[in-house]
Amino acid sequence: MTIIERQPLAHVGRSVPRRDAHEKLRGAAQFVGDFVVPRMVHGKVLRSPFAHARVVAVDASEAEALPGVVCVLTGDDLTDLDPYWGHAIKDRPIVALDHVRFAGEPVAAVAAEDEATAAAALNAIRVEYEELPVAGTIEQALADDAPILHEGPLRPGLFHGLGELPPREGNVCYRYRIDRGELESVFARADLIVEGEYSFPAVYQYAMETHTVVAQVEGEEITVWSTCQHPFLVRAELADLFAVPLASVRVVVPYLGGGFGSKSYTKMEPLTAALARKAGRPVRIQNRVDESMVTTRRHGMRCRMRTAMTNEGNLVARDVDCWFDTGAYADNGPRVTATGGDAAPGPYRWHAYRVDARCVYTNTGPAGSYRAFGAAHLQWIGESQIDELARRAGLDPLAVRRDNLCLPGEELRNGAKSLDADLIGDVEQAAAAVGWSEPKRANVGRGVSVGLLAAGAHPVSTAIVRLEADGQVVVLVGTTEVGQGPRTVFAQIAAEELGVDVEQVTVRGTDTRFTPYDRSTGASRSTTIAGLAVQRAARQVRDQLEEIAAGDPLEPTAYPELLRRHFGFTGGELIGSGEVAPTGTGSYAEGPVFWEVCVGAAEVEVDPETGVVRVRRTATVADVGRAINPQLVQRQDEGATLQGLGNALFEEMVFEDGQLLNDTLLDYRVPSFADLPNEMTCVIVENEDGPGPYGAKGCGEGALAAIPAAVVNALADVGVPMQELPLTPERVWRRIQTLKEEGKWPR
């Protein structure tokens, strides 16, 4: 690992307190659910009870006659619009028109003076359905006699960005393929081959705050207060949907109570805006947890994989077929599929590989983004096969990785950015943190995992920094504060560049009417891309200050006095703007912006009598280039670790004939403090090799992809290999019984 002699900085690299901590602790922070707009009414959504049906008729007359009901929205109110939206594929209507394609799909919406009246009005709406065959699983959707969920050609959405849509293949809405080398000839020469079929369940992001939107429509002017991570993309979607100029749509985002991808792109905004348009008054719709669970989720996936190696431990080939369950509408499915396809080979030197990834419509709730999408789906499968090959060859799994991982600067995929991390050093640190070389007692195992995630999304961000007459600094940037801490990081960057205290810097929330453009909040991009825009804007202000001060270079002058002299009176301000865009050459012209490291290790203990898996120790590596705020980096990795444990051990959305059976916290288990490991280590690696400010690069997703893989490998180290997640006690116990019958337990 390269040792960097770091220049001392005043604010960057320090764990300064979060700028929003006091506001949130005092209960003063404003969330969308706190907003009350004058004349606002309450919206409720009527949702389909069927997973697949034809909508024969909708009669809202009784509901509309109820006292206190302002209006009822149905498909008949959308005839003046092209009512379909979707950022990847334009396939989703504002409310169901001729068909419903998942249980929970909006069929109508009510606006009323209070929530109780709105709820009563839902019960008064009469809908006649004609049930249709259900394709509730990937297998059912791919069957020869499967019902076709979407007829006609696929239409690309505003932000498709993945090339031409292929011709329709039944219920497959997108396909992504990559390959290298002569696959079958390499497999034919291999000494060892591991192959198997695997499944990853649909899981829910479970942010504390559910989807909430307040919308107001006045003529062509649309204002939306929303729990969204991508306000500028939502603005564009609404402008396109309602056929108004971009400048006519305003999206305001206060604090968010978590997102993890569940609030990426557009969700409830079109429906709320359409209801407000008909009501002629502002409308608020606030989902219950069960409603948000059918609004978005992580993709379930099925995978067939085989991996080949020589007896000496040289990895030579990998072959992957995978199918992602995107639900009834594409949402972010095509991009998840492509990212998963890119992650499938892993960061190894292969003689040959082939990946064929498909995005499949099913009659379940739409699947979208969830932290570390794609990598979380495929990494645990590929890494478990490498461990199995190492066991068959009698080799140390860590040594196999050390001998086969790509090195910094090496090409990972044809035409993609070369590797920008020291993976060998990273995984060795993770392994050491869980005692890789220490003796183990019975039923205790250790595992490691290594992967990469294409990070950064589309690298377009702008920022404005204002130095006020009193020396205070205001930062305007479109990044959403979801809880990850960008307002603190941006304040540190601006303070560093301008030589002021962090407390003198205020970072405002997003309002698309006043805040400069930022492509999105997600893909670990905020520090790297938006942070660089803030740095450039602050430096522009600093350059102006230096030019002003040059007129009197011998006398130190405070900023307020300097501005007073410059403007000739008390007032005025200096403004700097910063921009990041994928122009020219260099890091931001390549894809991805950077490779986020997904490296982790785990130590587990299994009770063979109950199948309960207890995680004793975990370690993750945050290879961040430079940690602007080390404590925030640690908190990101700790949160991702806990979510990774949930994905590995117990989280699973259970469907039967398209119906979600566990849509409450009583039935859907998320991690709690009782599930914390005895030891949780986050190793921060700072090589200043990132494209962001001060050599930084993003973090916060890699740990979620790494931990399930490490836990699966640790359980296999005990002697219980698994091919299905989550590792519930029943599943593990049944696997142990099968191993006993085969004479393979205890090992």
DSSP string, 502-567: GGGEEEPPEETTTSPPB--S-TT-IIIIIHHHHHHHHHHHHHHHHHHHTTSTTS---HHHHHHHHH
- 39, with CB counted inside 10 A (0-12, 13-18, 19+), is exposed
Q: Which residues contact 7 (CB under 8 A, 6 or more apart)?
A: none
Computed from CA positions of residues 341, 345, 350, 356, in that sequence, does the dihedral angle turn out positive or negative? negative
Distance CA 466, CA 540 (A): 10
CA distances from 28 to 20, 80, 285, 477 (A): 10, 42, 22, 22
Distance CA 328, CA 377 (A): 20
User: What are phi and psi for residue 379, nearest 5 degrees?
Assistant: -65, -40
Distance CA 359, CA 138 (A): 10
Structural Rg of the chain based on CA atoms: 27
Q: Which two tokens stand for residue 523?
A: 């893909």
User: What are phi and psi for residue 43, nearest 5 degrees?
Assistant: -105, 145
Residue count of the chain, please give it. Answer: 747
Compute how many other C-beta atoms are within 10 angstroms of the C-beta atom of residue 494.
Answer: 32
Q: Is 701 a catalytic residue?
A: yes
Contacts 24+ apart (CB under 8 A), 391-400: 391/716, 392/192, 392/194, 393/191, 393/192, 393/309, 393/311, 393/312, 393/313, 395/313, 397/447, 397/448, 397/713, 398/427, 398/428, 398/431, 398/436, 398/448, 399/313, 400/309, 400/313, 400/315
DSSP string, 382-406: HHHHHHHHHHHHT--HHHHHHHHBP
DSSP 7: P
* Longest CA–CA separation in the chain, Å: 89
- Burial string for 718-736 (b: 16+ CB within 10 Å, else e) reads bbbbbeebbbbeeebbebb
DSSP 330: -
User: What's the half-sphere exposure (Cβ side, CA atoms, 13 Å) at 686?
Assistant: 17
- DSSP lists the bridge partners of residue 601 as 448, 619
428, 701, 730, 741: which one is catalytic? 701
Q: Report which of 601, 603, 599, 600 is spatially closest to residue 718, judged by C-alpha positions.
A: 603
Asked if 111 contacts 118 with a C-beta cutoff of 8 angstroms, the reply is yes
CA 394 to chain centre: 38
User: What are phi and psi for residue 621, nearest 5 degrees?
Assistant: -120, 120
Distance CA 113, CA 117 (A): 7
Amino acid at 399: A
Catalytic residues: 701
